A and B are shown apart, each in its own frame.
Chain A
């Protein structure tokens, strides 16, 4: 690439793939990493998501087929999870940047439960017809645990129910199923 301007633009774009995809700035949560005992940081978007789905399992595997069908319409899955040693390691202010973005259209909150210091919020962005969601965001907050999930792409309420496990997708079992002929079976299972 001889043009330095083009190179710089490409470098900047590749450095912030998650930013470009998410409607809100998940990096605002990054500062919690220093205080967290453990963290989960997952950014799966575009081709990587499709690649992951293609390695879920064999074609005749029912669970894998359901997950593949669900993932086929998604454009990204983003997870930020933190576990803390003690209470008070994060405050509502840490979530404010995420909530502020979710308060804007087309997002609406369909679940908001505050119970014994625990919070569950589920936000959805709907299609104009209102029959499907174009995004789902979940905030799950406990005194020592905070999880923010953002799923981007077309997803139906049934898909959310499936993700909830009510219709029998057992992702734990799915994790144990490895594609036949895969040389890394044992290594992957051990991990």
Chain B
């Protein structure tokens, strides 16, 4: 019975001392927190990757726009050529029609 009483006494629920939880959290937090300098290579790598992606995107977009402009310019010159030829043909037909003798 004596052993049983001692065991019960030893295992009884007991409140922790004041501030125990805060101290544990503070200690654990301090132990597991990664120092800022360990993040730096990752941050730098991300920044470099982002810069490369933005630069490459800019170059690709610029080339695409330049090609689009050249295609449009080619179309414009072709359209003006076609218009000019059509107008010249009309002029020539008018001239030929006017030159025909009226019976």
Binding site for B on A (CB under 8 A): 40, 42, 44, 48-49, 51-56, 67, 71, 77, 79, 81, 111, 113, 115, 118, 120, 122, 138, 140, 147, 149, 151, 160, 163-165, 171-172, 174-175, 182-184, 188, 191
Contact check, A188 vs B70: say whether CB atoms are below 8 A apart: yes
Return A185 CB to nearest CB of chain B, in Å. 10
Interface centre among A56, A113, A118, A138 (most CB of B within 10 A): A113
Of residues 74 through 99 on chain B, the ones whose CB sits less than 8 Å from some CB of chain A are: 74-91, 93-94, 96-97
Residue numbers in B under 8 Å from A44 (CB-CB): 72, 75-76, 79
> What CA separation (Å) do A164 and B91 show in the bound complex?
9
Contact at B97–A52, with CB atoms within 8 Å? no
Among all A-B residue pairs, the 8 with the closest Cβ atoms: A52-B72, A120-B90, A52-B76, A55-B73, A140-B86, A164-B87, A113-B93, A175-B77
Is B51 part of the binding interface, using a Cβ–Cβ cutoff of 8 Å?
no
Contact of A163 among B76, B84, B97 (CB under 8 A): B84
| Interface of B, helix, strand, loop or mixed by DSSP | helix
Closest CB-CB distance, B93 to chain A, in whole Å?
4
State whether A191 touches B74 (Cβ < 8 A): yes
Q: A151 is contacted by which of B66, B70, B75, B83 (Cβ under 8 Å)?
A: B83
- Complex interface: chain A residues within 8 A of B79 (CB): 42, 44, 77, 79, 149
